[in-house]
Amino acid sequence: MSDDSRDHCSTNTHQNVLAELREAIAQAVRDVKDKTPLAQSFTNFVTINLVANAQLAAGGTAAMSFLPDDVIETAKIAGANYINVGTLLPFYKDALPSIAQRLNYLGKPWVLDPVAAGIGKTRTAILQSFKAAPPTVIRANASEVIALANMWGLLDADNASRPAGVESVDEVDAAAQPAKLLAQFLAASAPKHKAAVAVSGKIDLVTDGEHTYRLPGGSAMMAKITGAGCSLGGVTATYLAVAEPLIATLAASLLYDRAAEVAEAESKGPGSFQVAFLDALWNVTAEQVAGSDIVVQ
């Protein structure tokens, strides 16, 4: 923990908030290991295997579906769902808006990864449609968060004009306000009005629309394997099957950061990093996850 972060957490209020959060995070990690909850994913073809393996390594159960009748029937027995718009096929244009509506009608929580938000007419149409049937949690990089908030008309002229480029520390900060606005928008229509947005980057950021949490650590090697972000979205859905949005999102991001640090220390390139990362998702404890540095604002 850096001196800066100590200062940030030094008020009594924040310390109380943090103590409660840590207990709830530890409980979520334990619950997933004990209850092996099912989270369903509609995700891209590049990293679908890693999404499933990461969910299993975290302790959950995985089911992957694409056809609307499959998705909806499986959603009925799943604790949470995950939609990732990475690799689109033609039938998704009608299927995904309809699936999002049905999930919300059924009261099923879901995580959205708006991969490549802003690229392609079909993706834009799909993401636009989610404004009327919003997810419970969004997990994305900074550019995608800004693009989505902009697409949904949540930004004022000043924020909307920020350029969206390659992800970086600055960009996570650039996405802080758009992320907060998105979380508030999601919460307005979410069950119990609880929602969260996670922005992945050098320092991950999580917000429920009220407080913003920065999560230092992790590993730069995460950007050298494909699917680090996608599978984090999937594991967030796994935690969302047993915990409320903010806790699930924090738990998943913190588990990822701790596992990435272990994997970096044990590997000598991206091949062995991915292997060690999956092992670490399995071996990192609830106490390690819940004891992480968290900078609250």
Binding residues: 64, 139, 200, 227
Annotated binding site for substrate: 64, 227
Secondary structure letter of residue 232 according to DSSP = H
Tokens 């708006």 sit on residue? 114
Q: 3-class SS at 241?
A: coil
> CA-based angle 264:269:274, to the nearest 5?
65
Whether the Cβ atoms of residue 283 and residue 33 lie closer than 8 Å to each other: no
Measured in residues, the chain has a length of 297
For residues 197 and 278, which CB has a smaller minimum distance to its own copies in the complex?
A: 278
For residues 19 and 275, which CB has a smaller minimum distance to its own copies in the complex?
A: 275
For residues 5 and 36, which CB has a smaller minimum distance to its own copies in the complex?
A: 36
Which residues bind to its own copies, rule: CB under 8 A?
44-50, 52-53, 56-57, 62-67, 69-70, 73-74, 86-91, 116, 119-123, 223-227, 267-272, 274-283
Whether the Cβ atoms of residue 112 and residue 137 lie closer than 8 Å to each other: yes
For residues 47 and 104, which CB has a smaller minimum distance to its own copies in the complex?
A: 47
Rounded Cα–Cα distance for residues 93 and 124 (Å): 10
Closest of 247, 210, 290 to residue 109, by C-alpha: 247
**CA end-to-end span of the chain, whole Å?**
16
Query: Least distance (Å) from its own copies to the CB of residue 6?
Result: 33
Tokens encoding 33: 């290991």
Q: How many Cα neighbours within 13 Å face the side chain of 144?
A: 22
C-alpha 37, offset from chain centre: 17
For residues 116 and 137, which CB has a smaller minimum distance to its own copies in the complex?
A: 116
Q: Concatenated DSSP letters for 35-65?
A: H--EEEEE--TTTHHHHHHHHHHHT-EEEE-
Query: Least distance (Å) from its own copies to the CB of residue 168?
Result: 13
Query: Least distance (Å) from its own copies to the CB of residue 191?
Result: 25
For residues 145 and 222, which CB has a smaller minimum distance to its own copies in the complex?
A: 222
Query: Least distance (Å) from its own copies to the CB of residue 82?
Result: 13
Query: Least distance (Å) from its own copies to the CB of residue 230?
Result: 11
The radius of gyration of the chain's CA atoms, rounded to the nearest angstrom, is: 18
Tell how strand 295-296 and strand 110-113 pair up.
Answer: unpaired
Query: Least distance (Å) from its own copies to the CB of residue 87?
Result: 6
